[in-house]
A and B are shown apart, each in its own frame.
Chain A
Amino acid sequence: MFTRNLRVFFRRYSQTCTFRTSELSPAQHSENQIGMFYTIDKNLCKQLFGHGGLPKSYMKQTKTFTETTLMVRLPALDIMNCIKNTDFDKPVVRYVLYGEKGSGKSLTMAHLLHYAHEQEFLIVHVPWVSEWLRRVPRHKEMANSPTREGFVDLPLDAAAWLLHFKTQNQTLLKNPDLKISKEYTWSKRESTAEGAPLLELVELGIARVKYACDVIDALVYEIKLLSNNKRCKTFVAIDGFNTFFYPLTRLRTPTKRTVAPEEVSLTTSFLTLTKNDWTNGVVVVTADQLAVPEDHQESYLPKYLLYKKGFEHLDPFVPIEVGRYSEREFLTCASYYRDRLWLRGPSELEDELKFTSACNPYKFMELCAPL
């Protein structure tokens, strides 16, 4: 009796509230749900975004709200539609998300990741490229690559990414079809045999941090091969992709020489993944102003951010702009904040907030925080 009442109550609630959709599967989202929020399951969220993927400030907010919700927005729906209608026998289609700072590129990508997870894509997701190339904590592990001359390895970052890859594709990696095509010899004693499962390769990379970068190289090669052979579909998502093309990184070799991004072995691996010489996959990258230093933030357009080199590397691609909130999106967002008791006060507040934040999602979030 009690549970029924509760169920009725919840149904009433979901009917009355206009900012939340009960459609939890991104594949089912359509134009009707634009501007509405949907909740991601807690465990799934941990699995997909446990090692990054959601912006830090957004993570904080989800912790406050005790739920992870994403707004269904047009750019994500557009890409989903495109993916649905893609012929997977053709070379991969590359989508570039671009937009002003804080307009929701990363969250659009998060939405797409959820979609990809649901559609059983093999997810290759780089949460934030600048984490590797631009962020230099006190002890950044760096080593000259033992296998490739003149390259720099970031073994710890690579291992962390492998762990991320493993958690994101937990279920898919158990699939016995995903096998290695050739034998890899790491050292005299260590090698991975031909026909071993992909998971073994990944675990080796995590356990033997020294080889992590080479493992990633091999992994990329194998994933491309597997996709070509129709063993799996692959969804490549790289946030802050334009960092790969900014002429300098903030890394320094032990001899104090600054490192160009091409010289980092991780860069080459992921750049081969974004070429369109393979099939049965989707590539989504973002061009973000925040991923490059301030001297190169004049425009948010991909041509400017990716430089000529990156533009030619990606060309042809599908540019998708992530814009500011529309009127409706803004109102649903405001009512969501009100529902979470995050925003209080008179209703004229919304008008003012709309103008002060200029409908920029991040700015709006920032402004609401102290209210």
Chain B
Amino acid sequence: MMGEDPETFTQKDVDRAIEYLFPSGIYDPAARPLMKPPEEVFPNRKAAEFDEAGRPHHFLFYTGKPNFFKLLHDAAETIQTLYKFEDKVIRKKEIPDPNAELELLASVWITREELEQSLVEKITDLEYDNFKLVMERIVSLPYSYRCKEFIEKYRKPLASQRFALEIPKPSYDQDGRAFITTYECLRKKARGDVTIRSPGTGKITINGKDLTYFQDVQSREQVLFPLIFSEMLGKVDVECNIEGGGPSGQSGAIRWGIAWGLRSFVDKNMLEAMQVAGLLTRDHRRRERKKPGQPGARKKPTWKKR
């Protein structure tokens, strides 16, 4: 198809072909035509649950949610075995191995939706809370590392810190000052680039003007926030070229650009703090389109009884 080699045809090629063959202007990408293996498109369904005699396979079938309660059942069983093991160890007068302790800081429990998907059952909030309670109980036991696989199955790693690996090294200009330029600082409709020079005196230049380029305090604060947060105010010079959009979009773009550029000048702890503070996260929100039949994106006409 389309002059491609069918042997090395990947999903990406399929997507491209579909986009070419069925061009679609539908606003929501999820509603556009697609071709994918059915397993990816349709959620799993439960297998047949009865034998020839009409009796259910699963011993917890009459609970209504066999898979979920099976999970709780297993968890309870695990707790019991761990208790027994603990008693045994205490009788032998030994202590748990401190090196084998579970590392749980880098991961979190899977969300309710993910749990539903893996169990192929709908569960309520209360049930999800119960699930978490039980799992926490297991984790809190001293010998929980013995059932590591069971716990790992229901945890997922935190968002990986991609930026930590690819921080660019600053280049040096004629004066020997380190500088780094962040291109494509985007927010709303604003586009621009930000250059950070270190060491500096805290001079901020925006389109050739100083901070008075922004009239309102909020925008100025936005620009200053990454500098204040990383305690670099007065230590670096910042130059920005920015165009498009309004004050809040422009200041938001500059804020991201400064924070992104500052990665090269701050230590690792600060980097993590900046990440947690949301300084390194791009804000992808855009203006939502107006819908026909209503006055705004979400606003509905005034409701009148008659």
CB-based contact A356/B224 at 8 Å: yes
CB-based contact B212/A360 at 8 Å: yes
Any A CB within 8 A of the CB of B76: no
Contact with B along A346-361 (1 / 0, CB 8 A): 0000011001101010
Which residues on A sit within 8 Å (CB–CB) of B217?
Answer: 356, 363, 367
Which residues on B sit within 8 Å (CB–CB) of A367?
Answer: 217
B203 to chain A, nearest CB (A): 10
Task: Give Cα A121 to B301, complex, Å.
Answer: 67
CB-based contact A352/B212 at 8 Å: no
Any A CB within 8 A of the CB of B210: yes
- 6 A-B pairs (CB sep. < 8 Å): A100-B212, A351-B228, A351-B233, A355-B224, A356-B220, A363-B217
Which residues on A sit within 8 Å (CB–CB) of B212?
Answer: 100, 358, 360
B148 to chain A, nearest CB (A): 46
Which residues on B sit within 8 Å (CB–CB) of A351?
Answer: 228, 233-234
B210 to chain A, nearest CB (A): 6
Chain A residue at minimum C-beta to C-beta distance from B224? A355
Any A CB within 8 A of the CB of B221: yes
CB-based contact A352/B228 at 8 Å: yes
Contact with B along A331-371 (1 / 0, CB 8 A): 00000000000000000000110011010100100010000
When A and B form their complex, which 10 residue pairs have the shortest distance between CB atoms, in order from nearest?
Answer: A356-B220, A358-B211, A358-B212, A355-B224, A356-B217, A352-B228, A351-B233, A356-B221, A358-B210, A356-B224
Chain B residue at minimum C-beta to C-beta distance from A356? B220
Task: Give Cα A351 to B231, complex, Å.
Answer: 11
Given contact pairs A351-B233, A351-B234, A358-B210, a sample of 17 additional A-B residue pairs in the complex whose CB atoms are under 8 Å apart = A351-B228, A352-B224, A352-B228, A352-B233, A355-B202, A355-B204, A355-B211, A355-B220, A355-B224, A355-B233, A356-B211, A356-B217, A356-B220, A356-B221, A356-B224, A358-B211, A360-B212
Which residues on A sit within 8 Å (CB–CB) of B211?
Answer: 355-356, 358
Contact with A along B25-52 (1 / 0, CB 8 A): 0000000000000000000000000000
Contact with B along A87-109 (1 / 0, CB 8 A): 00000000000001000000000
Which residues on A sit within 8 Å (CB–CB) of B220?
Answer: 355-356, 358
A246 to chain B, nearest CB (A): 23
Task: Give Cα A234 to B211, complex, Å.
Answer: 41
Interface size class of B (residues with CB under 8 A): 10 to 19
Interface residues of B in 192-246 (CB under 8 A from A): 202, 204, 210-212, 217, 220-221, 224, 228, 233-234
Which residues on B sit within 8 Å (CB–CB) of A352?
Answer: 224, 228, 233
Which residues on B sit within 8 Å (CB–CB) of A363?
Answer: 217
Task: Give Cα A356 to B221, complex, Å.
Answer: 6
Which residues on B sit within 8 Å (CB–CB) of A360?
Answer: 212
Task: Give Cα A319 to B234, complex, Å.
Answer: 33
Task: Give Cα A356 to B219, complex, Å.
Answer: 9
Chain A residue at minimum C-beta to C-beta distance from B219? A356
Task: Give Cα A17 to B212, complex, Å.
Answer: 32
A349 to chain B, nearest CB (A): 11
Chain A residue at minimum C-beta to C-beta distance from B218? A356
Chain B residue at minimum C-beta to C-beta distance from A363? B217
Task: Give Cα A363 to B228, complex, Å.
Answer: 20
Q: Select the residue from A100, A351, A355, A360 with max chain B CB neighbours within 10 A.
A: A355
Q: Select the residue from B210, B220, B234 with max chain A CB neighbours within 10 A.
A: B220
Task: Give Cα A352 to B232, complex, Å.
Answer: 12
Task: Give Cα A83 to B217, complex, Å.
Answer: 39
Interface residues of A in 216-256 (CB under 8 A from B): none
A307 to chain B, nearest CB (A): 25
A326 to chain B, nearest CB (A): 14
Task: Give Cα A169 to B72, complex, Å.
Answer: 93
B180 to chain A, nearest CB (A): 21
Task: Give Cα A360 to B210, complex, Å.
Answer: 12
A102 to chain B, nearest CB (A): 11
Which residues on B sit within 8 Å (CB–CB) of A358?
Answer: 210-212, 220
Task: Give Cα A121 to B166, complex, Å.
Answer: 71
Q: Select the residue from A351, A356, A367 with max chain B CB neighbours within 10 A.
A: A356
A99 to chain B, nearest CB (A): 13
Task: Give Cα A295 to B221, complex, Å.
Answer: 28
Task: Give Cα A367 to B217, complex, Å.
Answer: 8
Task: Give Cα A367 to B221, complex, Å.
Answer: 12
